[in-house]
Amino acid sequence: MDIDYLMEYQEKEFQIHENLKTLSNRFKDLNQPIFNLSTPCQSFWSQLPFSGTVIVPLSPQSETYFEMAYNFSVDEIAEVIKFVKETKKIQFVLCGDLKNYYNCDYLEPIFEELHPPMYISDMSFDNDRNRELYKESWIELTTLFELSPRFSKLHDLPNGVHMIAEYVRQYNNFRYFGFDEIADTFLENILIRPEFASIYLETAYEMMIHPLIDPLKANLVISMDTIQRANKMGLDQNVDCGYPEIGSFLMKQTTNYPESMTACKDLICRYKKEDLYKVHSSLHSAVNERNSTSIIKNKNELEEIMQNIWEDTKIIRQNAEMYKYGMALTIGTIGFCINPFYGLLGSLGVSALSQTKSSFLDNYAELISKKVATPCMVNIYDFQKKIHTSQ
């Protein structure tokens, strides 16, 4: 893609944004619930079945890094484009100055076929104070970067200009929103601990700034790796986020395929979207309920919590068996004439002869058992029954 094409594309995007005022008006085919991957995430395939649309940032990067970040090869881009058009499950967005995409020819089909918009913040942030602060931030950071052996090498990277602009943008936002302590920590470590400074700024931005400026106000998806890293750095988890690991866990329970477009298609074909949304939301809520007094520390802990929740639905089955046994015993020893269930059974058209041979007791006992369980566990239990039926 040549520079002229990219600059024309960018100018059109700025004009559209100026007319529409907000990025949310730019989209036509977003389906609820919307999930936002603030950074590239390998497990985004496992998010798709359980969301309406996933917002996927498309940064300028090499083909190798692209394939590592999104878990599909550049040779599959044509198939992905077809999948997007058919399902509306993915909305790619462009990040930063578009001239940085000049050496990303492999992305040209996405530009031409899907016309992804630029990920531009709300117009309310485009003001004199922010613009002036950005100029100061640019001078301050680029001057320091020249003195740092690590950061000075960014100019030699294919996407180095984009990376520098991202550092400045993120740093500027911390200053703009008054998180001066975060910005100061980044500055203090640029020369003495440059790798820490880079990871610190990126992590803090994802946890603290991105939710504030997201023009779509979508469900933020933050990996356990990022949360664990934030905890070690003393950064507060002050946002309600979704764990991409939940989608991965559910995919393992429902399909024999590894996380991929194939597995995603398999789930979409076999289950109603409402069922997939409900079980994902219920598992997320159950995780938060089980862990309401502490912070989940790592993936293994989250995996254990999810596995325990998944297995705890057996309590509903066990209670249903107990209720069924009690009702059958009462009916068998006392009889229908004086049985307290008789009126109800009769009103439902269940005869004395057929009811013990029918599925009525099973269904009624299950209904009682589900009434005393939490709604989250009932939704997961119902979905497990659908899994059993579809296999």
Give pTM, 2 decimals: 0.77
Question: What count of other Cβ atoms lies within 10 Å of the Cβ of residue 349?
Answer: 9
Which residue is it, tokens 């912070």? 295
Is the per-residue pLDDT at 128 higher than 90?
A: no
Q: What CA–CA distance (Å, rounded) separates 144 from 282?
A: 47
- Mean pLDDT (whole number) for 341-345: 46
Report the run of H or E that residue 302 belongs to, with start and end: helix 299-312
Query: pLDDT tens digits for 25-38?
Result: 788 778 888 888 76
Of the candidates 167, 168, 173, 165, which has an alpha carbon nearest to the alpha carbon of residue 210? Answer: 173
pLDDT for the residue numbered 340: 46
DSSP per-residue letters across 158-183: TTHHHHHHHHHHHHHHHHHTT-HHHH
pLDDT for the residue numbered 326: 62
pLDDT for the residue numbered 342: 45
DSSP secondary structure code for residue 116 in this structure = P
Q: What CA–CA distance (Å, rounded) separates 92 from 345?
A: 56
- Mean pLDDT (whole number) for 309-325: 77
Q: How far is CA 386 from CA 253, 276, 316, 362, in A?
A: 12, 11, 15, 17
Q: Take residue 17 and report the two structure tokens written for it.
A: 């944004």
Percent of the chain with pLDDT over 90: 38
Is the per-residue pLDDT at 253 higher than 80?
A: yes
Provide the angle, in degrees to the nearest 10, between the axes of the packed helices 273-290 and 299-312: 110
Instruction: Say which residue, 30 or 271, is predicted with more confidence.
Output: 271
Q: What CA–CA distance (Å, rounded) separates 355 from 347?
A: 13
pLDDT for the residue numbered 107: 95
**Dihedral pair phi/psi, residue 222, rounded to 5°:** -125, 130
Q: What CA–CA distance (Å, rounded) separates 159 from 155?
A: 8
Question: pLDDT band at residue 184, thresholds of 50, 70 and 90?
Answer: very high
Q: Take residue 124 and report the two structure tokens written for it.
A: 């309310």
Q: What CA–CA distance (Å, rounded) separates 289 from 189?
A: 38
Query: pLDDT tens digits for 210-245?
Result: 888 887 778 887 888 888 888 888 886 556 677 788
Residues 6+ apart with CB under 8 A from 4: none
Express the helix, strand and coil content of the chain in percent, nearest 5 each: 65, 5, 30
- Mean pLDDT (whole number) for 358-367: 65
Q: Are 313 and 377 in contact (CB under 8 A)?
A: yes
Q: What CA–CA distance (Å, rounded) separates 163 from 356?
A: 70
Query: pLDDT tens digits for 28-79?
Result: 778 888 888 766 666 778 889 999 999 888 888 889 888 888 888 999 999 9
SS3 57: strand
Is the per-residue pLDDT at 270 higher than 60?
A: yes
pLDDT for the residue numbered 219: 81
Q: Are 345 and 360 in contact (CB under 8 A)?
A: yes
Is the per-residue pLDDT at 111 higher than 70?
A: yes
Q: What CA–CA distance (Å, rounded) separates 198 from 368?
A: 55
DSSP secondary structure code for residue 124 in this structure = G
DSSP secondary structure code for residue 341 in this structure = T
Is the per-residue pLDDT at 350 higher than 70?
A: no
Residues in the chain: 391
Is the per-residue pLDDT at 115 higher than 60?
A: yes
